Amino acid sequence: MKSSITFIVCALLLNQLTVAQDSLPQKHVVFRAKVKTYDGHVKTGCLQAIADSIISLSDKKSLLRFYRDDDHGSSSFNVASLDRVQLHRKGSVGRGIWGGALIGFATGFIAGIVQGNDEDKTVQIPNIFGGGYDTYVVKGTTASQKGMLLGATGILGGVIIGAIIGAASHNKFIIRGKKENYEKMRKKMMAKLGL
């Protein structure tokens, strides 16, 4: 009895972990899209589907699909009516900022560690109330202190560069109503997402 219950539980867990072989590709990625048609109509929204001959946009976030799914509330455009499509991954500026900050900190920290420790310096300052000099010992900075200081400085540069790269990272596809241009866009998007 105990072995049959164990078998049933294992079968149920295995059923939950397996993926059907005939499942259609979709990704948990949201792209903002701007579609311009030949008649001058411009529509912006979230990219919902890039099917064989139709591209669909939605006003709300939805999973990106590479097959046709008739969903109410979406705008669909046929390949023949498309002039150009511009795609921008949602959140790319934020990811660029975080990535730039991490790379900037790591670069600055490594540069500080490589420079090593500074030696202590003896400084003589003239005494203004009397003759002679006052002598002070200035402690040198350690490699870890330099690393933290240069890492903090690197964060600022990394954030700026990451924000610029994230804002500039968009894909512009010129379709001009041609099926082969549309297929190039579709294949590039599938390759980019690893499908």
Residue 104: per-residue pLDDT: 93
Separation between Cα atoms, residue 76 and residue 164, nearest integer Å: 32
* Angstrom distance (rounded) from CA 82 to CA 180: 12
pLDDT in tens, 120-158: 888 888 888 777 888 888 888 899 999 999 999 999 999
pLDDT of residue 157: 92
Q: What local confidence, expressed as pLDDT, does residue 21 receive?
A: 41
Q: How confident is the model at residue 22 (pLDDT cuts 50, 70, 90)?
A: very low
**pTM for the complete prediction?**
0.58
Question: Quick one: CA torsion of 165, 166, 168, 169, rounded to 10 degrees?
Answer: 110
In sequence order, which residues have a C-beta less than 8 Å from that of residue 93 and are 6 or more positions away?
Answer: 163, 166, 167
Between 4 and 146, whose confidence is greater? 146
Contact residues for 41 (Cβ-Cβ < 8 A; gap 6+): none
Q: In sequence order, which residues have a C-beta less than 8 Å from that of residue 152 and are 6 or more positions away?
A: 105, 108
DSSP the chain: -HHHHHHHHHHHHHHHH---TTPPPEES--EEEEEEETTS-EEEEEEEEE-SSEEEEESS---EESS----TTEEEEEGGGEEEEEEEETTHHHHHHHHHHHHHHHHHHHHHHHH-PPPPEEEEEE-SSSSSEEEEEEPPPPHHHHHHHHHHHHHHHHHHHHHHHHHH--EEEE-TT-HHHHHHHHHHHHHHTT-
Per-residue pLDDT averaged across 90-118, rounded?
Answer: 90
Residue 62 has pLDDT above 60, yes or no: yes
Q: Which two tokens stand for residue 168?
A: 């500039």
Mean pLDDT along residues 53-70? 75
69 has pLDDT over 70: no
Q: List pLDDT tens digits, range 73-96.
A: 578 888 888 888 888 877 888 889
